[in-house]
Amino acid sequence: MNESADARDLGAVRVDIPLRADVPLPDSGRLAPQRALLTEAFRQEAAVAERPGAVALPRRRVVLMTAAAATGLVVTGGVVAALSADDPGAAAPTATTPSGRRLLSAQASADTLELAAATVARSGATEPRPKQWVYEKSTSFDHGTPRSAEQWTRWDGTGAASLPGAPGPDPTSSFDPNKLSVWYFPNEEEKWKKEGYDDRSQRQFYRFLATLPSDPDRMMAAIRKAHAIGDIKGETRAQRDWREIDVLYRSVLIPPNAQAGLFRALAKIPGARVEKGVEDPIGRAAIGVTVTYAEATPSGWQGKQELFFDPRTYAYLGEVRHTAPFRISGRSKGAKGPYATPSAELDADVMITARAAWGVVDRPGQRP
């Protein structure tokens, strides 16, 4: 047998096992991505095996899945290792609620986000042509009532359309809200670029994201420098990163490298956890990535903040954002000053949105 490796193919996961005794075992940090990938591969094989009429798996795979269920198998650098219950790299148990929602441990959350990153990094991406349009149908909730809208944005930044229609710049002109409203503009990409990218076409923003480094720390540093959502005095780095990521996911098209980096950046935010067995705001099966602020942040967010993703493709599906109680004057609860009157206090607010459909089309009004 070759001394360097005995290559074995475990279905979708290829594992190379070196036989040299001097190869050190990897630490739990290096194990996390491969643990997630292998666990997901076993989960998918198990699901196939449970279907009626499914062909029995080879004996070697059954043995490996049994071992994985008992101890958790991880693969890295050509080494297969079994994590015992007292291994510091093993994930803690998840918290399961009566509704079936499962809040994962910190380690299991990190593993899931690494699996999401690895999945989206492998997805293909083709940049739209300049005259193509990015389509998005979104649903928001006003006191529990869903309201849907459709938007089309031309890739080079020279056009926009919406349904329901919206009034144009002339307030005296009549418009039909049930008719598609379309606007065209001059190309100002060069102007926006010279002004520091405070405004960008979808094409410019996509290409900016495509240049970002894969390392999440370096990626977020570049985003904070160039995204221009504004600094807020007293905001921590983790709070700013969550706010940046929240805004970035509102972009319909994000290149694969940036999608992967965003998942890895979420994994590094203190307190961020993955919740499984959830539904997005319009009832689709989803996983949630959450962070909870016990006190109001300088940006005014408080309570549970949640981003929703498709549990298979990890596409962005929507969000729920809670804010701190505020006053009609716009001053935060407890703020001091001439506009902070006790009689103007309101309850905490919540913003709920979902991306119902999206894609690239050839003209405004067309749907994928």
Tens-digit pLDDT profile for residues 100-110? 889 999 999 99
- How far is the C-alpha of 157 from the C-alpha of 128, rounded, in Å? 12
d(CA 217, CA 272): 16
Residues 6+ positions from 152 with CB-CB distance below 8 Å: 133, 134, 135, 159, 160, 161, 162, 182, 361, 364, 365, 366
Q: Between the ranges 31-40, 48-57, 87-96, 282-291, where is the mean pLDDT highest?
A: 282-291
CA distances from 134 to 220, 231, 253, 360 (A): 25, 29, 8, 5
Answer for the pair 305, 246: CB distance below 8 angstroms, yes or no: yes
| Least-confidence region, from 150-159, 183-192, 311-320 | 183-192
List the single range of 245-254, 276-285, 323-332 with lowest mean pLDDT. 323-332
User: pLDDT tier at 294 (50, 70, 90 boundaries)?
Assistant: very high
User: Residue 190: its pLDDT value, please?
Assistant: 80
CA dihedral 175, 177, 178, 180 (to 10 degrees): 70
Average pLDDT, the chain: 74
Indicate whether 318 pLDDT > 50. yes
Query: Residue 191: CB partners within 8 Å, gap ≥ 6?
Result: none
For residue 115, which amino acid is it?
Answer: L
- Could you give the residue ranges of the DSSP H alpha helices within the chain? 28-49, 59-71, 106-121, 189-194, 202-210, 216-226, 237-248, 256-267
Kindly indicate the confidence band of residue 200, based on its pLDDT and cuts at 50, 70 and 90. confident
Whether the Cβ atoms of residue 129 and residue 158 lie closer than 8 Å to each other: no
- What local confidence, expressed as pLDDT, does residue 198 receive? 53
Report the pLDDT value the prediction gives residue 121, as an integer from 0 to 100: 94
Considering only 80-94, 205-219, 348-362, which range has the smallest mean pLDDT? 80-94
Give the span between the Cα atoms of 309 and 275, in whole angstroms.
11
Residue-level pLDDT at 9: 37
Mean pLDDT confidence for 34-61: 41
Asked whether the predicted pLDDT for residue 149 surpasses 80, the reply is yes
Q: Name the β-bridge partners of 322.
A: 350
Residue pLDDT, tens place only, 302-312: 999 999 999 99
Mean pLDDT on 119-132? 93
Is 183 strand, coil or helix?
Answer: strand
Min mean pLDDT across 70-74, 228-232, 272-276 is at 70-74
Query: What share of the chain has pLDDT > 70, as a percent?
Result: 63
56-65, 88-97, 283-292, range with the lowest pLDDT: 56-65
